């Protein structure tokens, strides 16, 4: 895996995220895919770890008015934005996702979307998610997948020029990102990380296949025609490993789980 920003102190990381309040989520289609994987949330106690500006919490509040919502983000600026986004429906906490201040077994659903790659100790965060899940609870994790940029994710040093790197390398690549801290995980590294942290994977879904084709001006037009077909067929053909965004539904390993589909 490739890393950047891991030398920064926690205070430096927090300050830099406070200065990036404009960074938003991935939009309605992403939220819809995440929530379909999560199932019915009405009446459940729900936590969003690394909630950012609160897009996911706001959508949960809209769709599931009886859900009890909590959110956590390391940036106080973003936590306040999330509070506004949810109309104060969610209780927000400013804290690290690696050390959430909640009791064990407190949540029926824990979401951690596009967050693990921005932590110094993502495995510790996964372990905390396992700790926070109530019996029968589920975690919904999403992680950018560098394998979705294959083969360029392994050729970063050979891609010339900033413009071309922005098109052919994953956003999390050290030569590409503007985040204060980022880790560029491959498909296998993501699955291994989740399992080491104490979660068992029930389902793996993907979104935005062979992402680099969508980034190039000429290829983008042709890709737009075939993208819906690719999104539908790739999982059936074992191509989930080439999705740029991996979405996983998990439960505590101690509870037992089925194995994910073979890639």
Would you state the pLDDT for residue 260?
A: 45
pLDDT class of 257 with cuts at 50, 70, 90: very low
Does residue 254 register a pLDDT over 90? Answer: no
Domains of the chain from N-terminus onward = 2-252 (3.40.50.150)
Classified as helix, coil or strand, 90 is: strand
Q: Considering just the CA atoms, what is the radius of gyration of the chain in Å?
A: 18
CA angle centred on 95, ends 112 and 37, rounded to 5°: 15
Does residue 22 register a pLDDT over 70? Answer: no
pLDDT class of 256 with cuts at 50, 70, 90: low
β strands within 117-241, DSSP E: 133-144, 182-184, 199-209
- Tell me how far apart the alpha carbons of residues 20 and 181 are, in angstroms, rounded to a whole number: 12
pLDDT class of 181 with cuts at 50, 70, 90: very high
Does residue 32 register a pLDDT over 80? Answer: yes
More confident residue, 216 or 117: 117
Average pLDDT over every residue of 240-258: 86
Query: In the predicted model, what is the mean pLDDT of the chain?
Result: 89
Would you state the pLDDT for residue 234?
A: 84
Would you state the pLDDT for residue 163?
A: 86
Terminal-to-terminal C-alpha distance of the chain: 19
- Tell me how far apart the alpha carbons of residues 107 and 120 are, in angstroms, rounded to a whole number: 24
Does residue 176 register a pLDDT over 80? Answer: yes
Across 62-66, 156-160, 207-211, 247-251, least confident range? 156-160
pLDDT class of 23 with cuts at 50, 70, 90: low
% of residues, the chain, pLDDT over 90:
56
Which tens digits make up the pLDDT trace of 73-86? 998 888 888 888 88
% of residues, the chain, pLDDT over 70:
95
Tokens of 8: 């920064």
pLDDT class of 52 with cuts at 50, 70, 90: confident
Would you state the pLDDT for residue 194?
A: 97
């Amino acid at each position: 895996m490739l890393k950047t920003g891991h030398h920064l102190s926690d205070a430096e990381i927090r300050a830099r995220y406070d200065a990036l309040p404009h960074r938003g989520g991935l939009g309605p289609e992403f939220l819809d895919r995440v929530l379909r994987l999560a199932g019915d949330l009405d009446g459940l106690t729900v936590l969003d770890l690394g909630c950012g500006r609160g897009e996911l919490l706001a959508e949960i509040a809209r769709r599931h008015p009886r859900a009890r919502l909590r959110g956590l983000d390391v940036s106080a600026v973003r936590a306040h934005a999330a509070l506004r986004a949810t109309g104060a429906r969610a209780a927000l906490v400013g804290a690290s996702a690696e050390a959430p201040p909640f009791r064990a077994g407190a949540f029926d659903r824990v979401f951690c979307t596009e967050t693990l790659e921005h932590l110094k100790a993502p495995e510790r965060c996964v372990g905390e998610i396992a700790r926070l899940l109530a019996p029968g609870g589920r975690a919904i994790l999403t992680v950018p997948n560098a394998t979705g940029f294959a083969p360029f994710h392994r050729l970063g040093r050979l891609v010339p020029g900033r413009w071309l790197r922005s098109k052919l390398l994953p956003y999390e690549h050290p030569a590409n990102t503007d985040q204060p801290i980022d880790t560029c995980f491959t498909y296998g590294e993501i699955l291994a990380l989740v399992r080491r942290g104490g979660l068992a994977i029930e389902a793996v879904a993907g979104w935005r296949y062979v992402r680099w084709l969508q980034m190039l001006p000429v290829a983008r037009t042709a890709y737009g025609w075939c993208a819906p077909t690719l999104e539908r067929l790739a999982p059936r053909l074992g191509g989930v490993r080439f999705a740029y965004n991996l979405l996983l539904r998990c439960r505590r390993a101690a509870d037992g789980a089925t194995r994910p589909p073979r890639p």
